A and B are shown apart, each in its own frame.
Chain A
Amino acid sequence: MQSFLDIFDIYFLEAVINGILLGGVLALLALGLNLIFGVIDVTWICYAELVMIGMYGMYYLVQYFGLPYWAAAPLVILLVALLGAALHFLVIAPLLTAPPINQLLATGGVLFILQSFATVAFGIDFKNLGIRLPVLSLGDMNFSYARLLSFAAALLGMIGVYLFLTRTFTGTAIRAIAQDRQIMPLMGVDPKRLYLITSAIGGGLAGLAACLLVLQYDVHPFVGLSFGPITFLICVLGGLGNFIGGFIAAFVFAEIISLGGLFSDLEWGYVLAFGFFIVMMFIRPAGLLARRS
């Protein structure tokens, strides 16, 4: 009995730590989506599909053009940042004053366009980088370097965004515009330019996430479905547009998935997470850190 408990504790601790590692990347995705929502007041339904395109970018740069991983990653971040700016310029900007449902439908349409494009252009088979990172063993616990690296890079990415938002004039304007859109011209701010910059940053974060996720998962045209919905739930649970709420919610979800997976299959972890979300929507419909009005 005692030895059973020992093993159980080790697995429990391993699951908790894996949950934290998973939470890092989820928090990165949630930050990108929250940034777009907070500043531009639109939801990019196709956010995870930008990640999918980025993962294909990594695959082709590494496998076809023979670039080393560290050289391909900045190119992919730049590529997806440009894709984010293009998405804003071509799809969102013309619909800025349209009803929200039209914006949702339009970005939903982009989701299907990107999935279909990937299917036609890259095929439906699963592809990977062919990079196998070693596993770190701590006592009886095993952690993949891919996850550790992803967590560290996601954290660095988020710190970078935090410094940008708090230290620079443009970052301060990004936080300000969500609070009062109409008077921004009085500050000398051109909202259109700010929207484009924010879209590029949101895209860049999706690109960074793509570089990290491609280390752990195979890429295929529908890979966005494995983390797109969970990213939306995280943002809604944290309160849409609330950066800190999204950060906390990402770790809450990651722990539920990871610990749920410990007691049963990984899929049950997701079932638990979604069930938790539904219950929370009854208790705190405006999100974990909703401001009392």
Chain B
Amino acid sequence: MLELRSIDAGYGSFQALFDVSLDVRAGEAVGVIGPNGAGKTTLMRVISGLIRPIRGTIAMQGTDVVATPAHRIVSLGIAHVPENRRLFPRLTVADNLKMGAFMPGARARYAERLDFVFELFPRMKERRHQMAGTMSGGEQQMCAIGRALMSNPKLLLLDEPSAGLAPVVVQQVFELVKRIRSSGLTVLIVEQNVQQVLRVVDRAYLLEAGTIRAAGTSTELAASDTIKQAYLGV
């Protein structure tokens, strides 16, 4: 579904990704793990078009993502839940969800998608008239995922969904990712919480200092010595 080939990317003269290649097949859940500053967020931003690669190609179901204007990439079926959620804090939950359905294709199915999101997150239905910025971190994460789902995506990009949340809430978020997966959506998830994410995904890539250091199924990676020592603390 999604193919990245030899991606170099960065900000100004600072290069954050070096020759990154990565595949996500339809129906899969894929994780990208690695330490802080490894380039995980940059990777997500390159895919959704917030920054453009210096070199390399990205294809979404055969369409050249690099040549697509940033605001059209969501129409290719890629929805990005950004790091720190990035809700519109002084808009209501309902208006935040509405923004997720902004593109013309999604507007037509707005009511239908809203029902779907409210069914997935009954809490969002209760809070639909509340300002998004006044909710708890976990609720905001639900709202951010709901906003992304409003565009009826094929591929969901999740950037550190567990960041800044209490352990109990982190559990809930990962449960949610499982549910979203089972609804047939393809998921690419970036996480520092390696232990948790390996339980949810089929395969994962280890990104360190901007390069892919290892790749494999989640069982393979969970069993590998380097990952055990560096990330699982055993």
Contacts and interface: CB of A to CB of B under 8 A. Distances in A.
A13 interface: no
Interface stretch (A106-114, A152-160, A183-191, A212-220): A183-191
Contact of B74 (A173, A180, A182, A186): A186
Interface string A42-74: 000000000000000000000000000000000
A188 B50 contact: no
Contact of A187 (B49, B74, B90): B74
A184 B71 contact: yes
A188 B103 contact: yes
Contacts, number: 63
Contact of B102 (A180, A182, A187, A191): A187
Given A183-B82, A187-B102, A176 B88 contact: yes
A179 B88 contact: yes
Max count, chain B CB within 10 A of own CB: residue among A169, A176, A182, A188: A188
A169 B105 CA distance: 13
A188 B91 contact: no
Nearest to A188: B103
A46 to B, nearest CB: 29
Contacts of A191: 71
B63 to A, nearest CB: 15
B111 to A, nearest CB: 13
Contact of A185 (B70, B101, B106): B70
A182 B83 CA distance: 12
Contacts of A175: 88, 91, 95
Interface residues of A, number: 17
A183 B50 contact: yes
Contacts of A176: 88, 91, 95, 99
Contacts of A190: 69, 71
Nearest to B103: A188
A contact patch SS: helix
Given A176-B95, A176-B99, A183-B82, A188 B151 contact: yes
A184 B70 CA distance: 9
Contacts of A144: none
Contacts of A142: none
A107 B70 CA distance: 29
B163 to A, nearest CB: 16
A179 B91 contact: yes
B70 to A, nearest CB: 4
Contact of A188 (B71, B88, B90, B95): B71
A182 B88 CA distance: 11
Interface of A: 169, 172-173, 175-176, 179-180, 182-191
Per CB-CB distance, the 7 closest pairs between chain A and chain B, nearest first, are A188-B103, A185-B70, A188-B74, A190-B71, A185-B71, A179-B88, A176-B88
Given A179-B88, A187-B147, 8 more contacts: A172-B95, A176-B99, A182-B50, A185-B73, A186-B48, A187-B74, A188-B71, A188-B75
